[in-house]
Amino acid sequence: MTNDIRSMNEIPERLNSVRERIRAAAAASGRDPDQVTLLAVSKTRPVSDILAAHAAGQRRFGENYLQDALPKVRGLDGADIEWHFIGRLQSNKTAEVAHHFAWVHGLDRLKHAERLSTQRPAELPPLQVCIQVNMSGEASKGGVAPDELPGLALAVAALPRLRLRGLMTMPDPSSEPQVQREAFARLRGLLDGLRAQGLALDTLSMGMSGDMEAAIAEGATIVRIGTDIFGSRG
């Protein structure tokens, strides 16, 4: 069980050790730890786990599965939480994402971006978005190919109700740590290339429980951590 008393007591400790790892990794590469934001990935976790992390000061949470996420987002309405949608978008689900989330990390199609921009409620601030880039070339993975990125980025940046913040990637989990680190470095290079084209971007969403240190060394500004905060997902 993930929502028993034992795991709830462990969450603050785990959270503190993740924060300490972020500080150490930033210091090791001469970066300011405040430039690295911790996103707690609460997919499949019960509200009680989210509340345990919230009580320990965590305010940003990431969810992948919309049907799993919506009851939690609605149930925690008013709790001062910034919700990030990190799963794969589907055209018929974009409206709910546009209504209930502050950020989207996995954008990879202009059609989805256009829908999100149209559907973003006028009373909310623009939806903050990252374009997901497929750095491994694996066809099964989400994300735009690097050579299609500039065209998509320019089109997304022009949409009125979205604010393009940067790039996101998920490394191929089967590849060697060195290969994963090279993918992070190449993503940073792609971000620099877009900035040189005049886009004001500040976000590299990369690094999960297993590769957070490498991602921070290569410039991650948001790390998405699930397992090392909430324990393994059964």
Ligand X SMILES: *Cc1c(COP(=O)(O)O)cnc(C)c1O
Does 170 bind ligand X (CB under 6 A)? Our answer is yes
Does 209 bind ligand X (CB under 6 A)? Our answer is yes
CB 126 within 8 A of CB 103: no
Question: Cβ closer to ligand X: 2 or 161?
Answer: 2
The residue with its CB nearest to ligand X is: 226
Does 167 bind ligand X (CB under 6 A)? Our answer is no
- At 127, phi and psi to the nearest 5? -75, 125
29-37, 48-56, 117-125, 204-212 -> range binding ligand X (CB under 6 A): 204-212
Exactly one of 166, 171, 219, 226 binds ligand X (CB under 6 A); which one? 226
Read off the amino acid at residue 158.
A
Exactly one of 43, 60, 109, 141 binds ligand X (CB under 6 A); which one? 43
CA distance 143 to 132: 5
Rounded to a whole number of angstroms, the minimum distance from the CB of residue 209 to ligand X is 3
113-121, 143-151, 152-160, 208-216 -> range binding ligand X (CB under 6 A): 208-216
Exactly one of 26, 86, 156, 164 binds ligand X (CB under 6 A); which one? 86
CA distance 136 to 147: 13
Phi-psi region of 112 (alpha: psi -120 to 50; beta: other; left: phi over 0): alpha
Question: What percentage of the chain's residues is helix, strand, coil (to nearest 5)?
Answer: 45, 15, 35
Does 227 bind ligand X (CB under 6 A)? Our answer is yes
